């Protein structure tokens, strides 16, 4: 057994109890912390699977942002925890659920043994066409060039989720500011951190976007860091969520998909089809789209964590 294999086994043994504890823990706070730790260890598993871009995305979005979101919501739903915990389902339901889960898991594990060998793959196709896109990182090329349509639709899905969160506002604060107003001691540690970290975070976020052309990184990962910096400033009370009815906010949110659509329609007009890039302009167009994405996705992710509007716009 080589060192790498024993490392993998140790990793798997560490990840197992964390996932189990996420389901089985008594308090929601413990379960969320367990899930965050699980996500971070999972990032290591992703690196071992040869997918550093996915590892970055899982650590940032799956574990970091989701952790903030769930911890905040858990704190506000704390009062109903005992009430809900009293409604434990019957033993029969638990047994049926356990049997179902074990069957599904076993079925998936067995199905994995029957995967076709050699595995069908699009890697050679991607490698052949990589030079035409001007980027070196194949995952970026797939996201921004070969399957750009999926990325465009994904941004629209994010925006739809945000519109959904906005539409949960009560009538009296329609169009108001999202989430509660956070206050922190101006001389305290949180404000210090919120003043010191965002400039560094902005540089790191933009760097992750810029370097994704040839090395692991990506627009989503970079946007997550930008969103996290804004959230940090919000939580320290240094800045507030913008009112949902604000025109500038809505323009900034539309900017990303609009740029994407314009480039796509330009491809329809000047090239072969929707979202086709002329070869000489490919890299430039991709960078332009990614800058628009950075702005929009960063704003959207932060506002999704901020929660439904609770205060009127005039505050």
Q: Scanning residues 246 to 285, which ones bind other proteins (CB under 8 A)?
A: none
Cα 96 from chain centroid (whole Å): 33
Considering only residues 87 through 106, tell me which ones interact with other proteins, judged by CB under 8 A.
Answer: 87-89, 93-94, 97-98, 100-102, 104-106
132 binds other proteins (CB under 8 A): no
- The answer to whether residue 149 forms part of the interface with other proteins (CB under 8 A) is no
Among 3, 109, 183, 248, binds other proteins (CB under 8 A): 109
Sites for other proteins among residues 288-307 (CB under 8 A): 301, 304-305, 307
Tell me the backbone φ, ψ of residue 179, rounded to 5 degrees.
70, 170
Distances in whole angstroms, Cα of residue 37 to Cα of each of 14, 44, 235:
10, 11, 22
Question: Residue written as tokens 């906010």?
Answer: 249
Q: Segment near other proteins (CB under 8 A), from 24-32, 237-245, 255-263, 274-282?
A: 24-32
Q: How far is CA 220 from the centre of its chain?
A: 7
243 forms bridges with which residues in the sheet?
A: 177
Write out the binding residues for other proteins, residues 27-46 only, by CB under 8 A.
28, 31-32, 35, 38-39, 42, 45-46
3-state secondary structure of 312: coil
> Which phi and psi (to 5°) does residue 88 adopt?
-70, 140
Least distance in Å: CB of 56 to other proteins? 9
CA pair distance 271, 277, nearest whole angstrom = 7
Site map 223..242 versus other proteins, x via CB under 8 A = --------------------
Only segment of 50-58, 254-262, 263-271, 277-285 that touches other proteins (CB under 8 A): 50-58
Q: Which of 12, 131, 132, 270 binds other proteins (CB under 8 A)?
A: 12
- Which of 92, 120, 247, 314 is close enough to bind other proteins by CB under 8 A? 120
Letter string b/e over residues 165-175, b meaning 16 or more CB atoms within 10 A of that residue's CB:
bbeebeeebee
Token duo for residue 236: 């320290």
Question: How many residues touch other proteins (CB under 8 A)?
Answer: 106
Smallest separation (angstroms) from other proteins to the CB of 261: 18
3-class DSSP state of 89: coil
- Verify binding: residue 181, other proteins, rule CB under 8 A: no
Exposed / middle / buried, residue 106 (Cβ in 10 Å: 0-12, 13-18, 19+): exposed
């Amino acid at each position: 057994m080589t060192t790498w294999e024993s490392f993998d086994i140790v990793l798997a043994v560490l990840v197992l109890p964390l996932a189990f504890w996420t389901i089985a823990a008594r308090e929601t706070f413990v379960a969320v912390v367990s899930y965050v730790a699980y996500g971070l260890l999972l990032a290591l598993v992703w690196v071992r699977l040869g997918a550093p871009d996915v590892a970055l995305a899982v650590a940032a979005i799956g574990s970091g942002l989701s952790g903030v979101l769930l911890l905040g919501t858990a704190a506000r739903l704390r009062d109903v925890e005992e009430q809900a915990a009293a409604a434990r389902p019957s033993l029969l339901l638990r047994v049926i659920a356990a049997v179902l889960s074990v069957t599904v898991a076993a079925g998936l594990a067995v199905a994995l043994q029957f995967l076709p060998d050699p595995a069908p793959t699009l890697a050679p196709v991607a490698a052949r066409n990589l030079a035409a896109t001007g980027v070196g990182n194949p995952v970026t090329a797939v996201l921004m060039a070969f399957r750009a349509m999926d990325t465009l639709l994904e941004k629209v899905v994010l925006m739809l989720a945000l519109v959904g969160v906005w539409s949960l506002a009560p009538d009296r604060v329609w169009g108001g500011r999202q989430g509660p107003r956070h206050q922190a001691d101006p001389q305290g540690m949180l404000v210090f951190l919120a003043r010191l970290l965002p400039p560094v975070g902005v540089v790191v976020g933009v760097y992750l976007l810029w370097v994704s052309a040839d090395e692991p990184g990506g627009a989503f990962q970079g946007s997550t860091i930008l969103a996290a910096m804004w959230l940090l400033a919000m939580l320290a009370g240094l800045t507030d969520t913008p009112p949902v009815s604000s025109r500038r906010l809505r323009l900034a949110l539309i900017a990303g998909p609009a740029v994407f659509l314009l480039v796509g329609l330009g491809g329809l007009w000047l090239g072969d089809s929707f979202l086709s890039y002329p070869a000489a302009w490919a890299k430039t167009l991709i960078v332009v789209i990614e800058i628009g994405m950075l702005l929009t996705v960063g704003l959207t992710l932060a506002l999704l964590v901020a929660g439904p509007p609770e205060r009127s716009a005039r505050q």
